[in-house]
């Protein structure tokens, strides 16, 4: 059976991008493959959360995983920080990861631009930790959104490099996965770019109906098409992209036709879009509230997950250590001197 690994950082509530780019596929894949889904709490430290925020976010993401339908009976659900083997593999992989290639990754360059006051070494080696997360279980498929493509390319590179250096065929090269389709990018509501947790352009699974209506009604549009069948500008295309994922096909077709005939009223489209999002998120929100208040259940889930994840991770690490040349001393070597 194929092994699947993926994770989401604990940096706040999950939004529609996290759901449709990643979580939806986690849920679909859990019954077909040997799945490991974790909460990337080490990765979230690059932005220096307070201890209270760190714990609160981990609990929130865990509750959201479960509320969306991840089943701890079939998938291994765990916290990254509960599997210390990951950090050892990270250290070992760091020895063969070059500063130059890490500095050239798009997400690192973005961070340098956006937060020049906090360019820490954890940010630089972020793709190495991510590779360790994946190859510690020797996964072949990684369900992720489009923004993770380059990180996956790096993970393949580090896996391949390890195999080449030690002349072994040990690690599988992990592939990003979306059931044969192109990886998804859910846009934000601010006209350009992707929906992000810190971009202020997101709709969260945990948002209530009033908040969702307000956010959608405020989404960027323009004064409308002036010619029939005119190409859509990015902000309008983005609204349609979100509608495509949450609404019925007939609804999308209806508004597309209105657009093409220059008869569209964005106010009506947004009202419909808001209601369709609310229909989708309301039951999830209710389950999040229910699950997040059940600390006993949550602690049972992470405990079982940690045990299963560590069993798999320690097996890999033991083999990796042997391949690298860490060998146990022969214990009866000095027996005769006693
Ligand atoms: P993170 O926490 O930023 O996002 C989690 C998942 O959500 C996807 N995603 C999106 N997909 C489509 N449209 C969007 N607007 C959108 N925003 C986020 C991401 O592609 C991702 O799949 N580095 C990872 C976490 C991680 C990881 C791993 C993932 C750590 N180790 C190992 C896979 C395997 C991250 O920051 O994702």
pLDDT tens across 239-249, in order? 999 999 999 99
Q: Which of 4, 5, 8, 126 to mutate to test ligand 1, by most ligand atoms within 8 A of the CB atom?
A: 8
Both 155 and 299 in one domain: the answer is: yes
Q: How many domains does the chain have?
A: 2
**pLDDT above 60: residue 338:** no
Question: pLDDT, tens digit, for every residue of 54-73?
Answer: 999 999 999 999 999 999 99
Question: What value does the mean pLDDT take over residues 182-201?
Answer: 90
What is the average pLDDT across 95-115? Answer: 96
How far away, in angstroms, is 329 Cα from ligand 1 center? Answer: 42
User: Is pLDDT of 316 > 70?
Assistant: yes
Q: pLDDT tens, 146-161?
A: 999 999 999 999 999 9
* CA-proximal residue: ligand 1, atom 18 (nearest): 18
CB of 133 within 6 A of ligand 1: the answer is yes
Q: How confident is the model at residue 336 (pLDDT cuts 50, 70, 90)?
A: low
Whether residue 338 lies inside any domain: the answer is no
Looking at residue 45, its pLDDT comes to 97
Q: Torsion angle, CA of 91/97/102/104, rounded to 10 degrees? A: 180
Q: Is the pLDDT of residue 121 over 90?
A: yes
- Tell me phi and psi for residue 40, to 5 degrees: -80, 75
Q: How far is the CA of 287 from the centre of ligand 1 (A)?
A: 22
Q: Which two tokens stand for residue 220?
A: 């960027």
Position 329 scores a pLDDT of 83
Residue 28 sits in the same domain as residue 77: yes
pLDDT at 33 over 60: yes
**Cα separation, 18 vs 61, whole angstroms:** 11
Catalytic residues: 111, 194, 197
pLDDT bin (cut points 50, 70, 90) of residue 42 is very high
138 with 155, same domain: the answer is: yes
What is the rounded average pLDDT of the residues 273-296? 98
For 44-56, what is the mean pLDDT? 96
Task: Please answer whether residues 173 and 145 qualify as being in contact, where contact means their C-beta atoms are separated by less than 8 angstroms.
Answer: no
> What token pair was written down for 329?
């001393």
With respect to residue 166, please indicate whether it lies within any of the assigned structural domains.
Answer: yes
Residue 177 has pLDDT above 60, yes or no: yes
Count CB neighbours of 31 within 10 A. 10
What was the pLDDT predicted at 330?
78
Has residue 191 got a pLDDT over 90?
no
- Tell me the CATH number at 81: 3.40.50.620
Q: How far is residue 59's CA from residue 104's CA, in Å, rounded to a whole number?
A: 34
Residue 331's pLDDT is what? Answer: 73
Distance CA 72, CA 61 (A): 14
Are residue 122 and residue 11 in the same domain, yes or no? yes
Q: Does 200 map to a domain?
A: no
Ligand 1 near 18 CB (within 6 A)? yes
In-domain check, residue 301:
yes
Structure tokens at 222: 């323009």
Ligand 1 pocket check for 157: Cβ under 6 Å: no
pTM: 0.95
Please indicate, yes or no, whether residues 174 and 226 belong to a single structural domain of this protein.
Answer: no
- H runs (alpha helix) in the chain: 16-18, 24-29, 51-68, 85-94, 99-103, 106-114, 121-124, 126-135, 149-166, 209-217, 234-246, 249-260, 266-292, 295-324
Q: In terms of domains, do 172 and 318 share one?
A: yes
DSSP character string of 257-312: HHHHTT---HHHHHHHHHHHHHHHHHHHHHHHHHHHT-HHHHHHHHHHHHHHHHHH
- What count of Cα atoms within 13 Å lies in the side-chain half-sphere of residue 311? 7
Ligand 1 and 128: CB distance under 6 A: no
What pLDDT score was predicted for residue 134? 98
What percent of the chain clears pLDDT 90, i.e. is strictly above it? 94
Does residue 300 share a domain with residue 174?
yes
Domain CATH code at residue 237: 1.10.240.10
Q: Are residues 49 and 114 in the same domain?
A: yes
The predicted model gives 202-223 an average pLDDT of: 96
Q: Does the pLDDT at position 337 exceed 60?
A: no
Q: What is the pLDDT confidence band of residue 197, given thresholds at 50, 70 and 90?
A: confident
Percent of the residues in the chain that have a pLDDT greater than 70, as a whole number: 98
Is position 108 within any domain? Answer: yes
d(CA 190, CA 193): 8
Q: Is the pLDDT of residue 332 over 80?
A: no
Q: Are residues 286 and 311 in the same domain?
A: no
Is 77 a domain residue? yes
**Binding site membership of 275 for ligand 1 (Cβ less than 6 Å):** no
Same domain, 214 and 157: no
Among protein residues, the one with the nearest Cα to ligand 1's atom 31 is: 130
Flag whether 191 is in a domain.
no
Query: Distance between CA 55 and CA 146 in Å, rounded?
Result: 28
Task: With CA atoms as reference, report the closest residue to 7 among 90, 85, 95, 80.
Answer: 80
Q: Is the dihedral of CA 14, 280, 252, 19 positive or negative?
A: positive
Q: What is the mean pLDDT of the chain?
A: 96
36 lies in a domain?
Answer: yes
Which residue is closest in CA terms to ligand 1's atom 6?
A: 18
Provide the residue range defining the domain that includes 230.
209-290
267 and 299 in a single domain? The answer is no
Do residues 239 and 302 share a domain?
no
């Amino acid at each position: 059976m194929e092994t699947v690994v993926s994770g989401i950082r604990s940096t706040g509530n999950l939004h529609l991008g996290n759901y449709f780019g990643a979580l939806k596929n986690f849920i679909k894949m859990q019954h077909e493959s040997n799945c490991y889904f974790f909460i990337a709490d080490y990765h979230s430290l690059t932005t220096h959360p307070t201890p209270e925020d760190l714990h609160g976010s981990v609990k929130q993401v865990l509750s959201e995983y479960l509320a969306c339908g991840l089943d701890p009976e079939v998938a291994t659900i765990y916290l990254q920080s509960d599997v210390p083997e990951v950090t050892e593999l990270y250290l070992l992989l760091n020895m063969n990861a070059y500063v130059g290639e890490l500095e050239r990754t798009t997400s690192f360059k973005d961070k340098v631009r956006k937060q020049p006051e906090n360019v820490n070494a954890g940010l630089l080696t972020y793709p190495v930790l991510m590779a360790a997360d994946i190859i510690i279980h020797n996964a072949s498929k990684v369900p992720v959104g489009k923004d993770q493509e380059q990180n996956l390319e790096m993970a393949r590179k580090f896996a391949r490099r390890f195999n080449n250096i030690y002349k072994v065929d040990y690690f599988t090269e992990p592939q990003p996965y979306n059931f044969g389709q192109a990886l998804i990018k859910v846009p934000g509501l601010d006209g350009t770019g992707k929906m992000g947790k810190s971009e202020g352009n997101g709709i969260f699974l945990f948002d209530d109906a009033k908040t969702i209506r307000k956010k959608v009604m405020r989404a960027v549009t323009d004064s409308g098409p002036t010619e029939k069948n005119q190409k859509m500008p990015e902000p309008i295309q983005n609204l349609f992209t979100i509608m495509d994922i949450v609404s019925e096909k007939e609804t999308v077709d209806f508004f597309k036709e209105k657009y093409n005939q220059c008869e569209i009223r964005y106010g009506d489209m947004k009202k419909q879009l808001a209601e369709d999002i609310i229909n989708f998120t309301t039951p999830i929100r209710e389950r999040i509230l229910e699950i997040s208040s059940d600390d006993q259940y949550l602690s049972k889930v992470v405990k079982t997950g940690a045990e299963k994840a560590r069993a798999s991770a320690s097996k890999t690490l033991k083999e990796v250590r042997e391949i690298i040349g860490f060998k146990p001393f022969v214990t009866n070597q000095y027996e005769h001197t006693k």
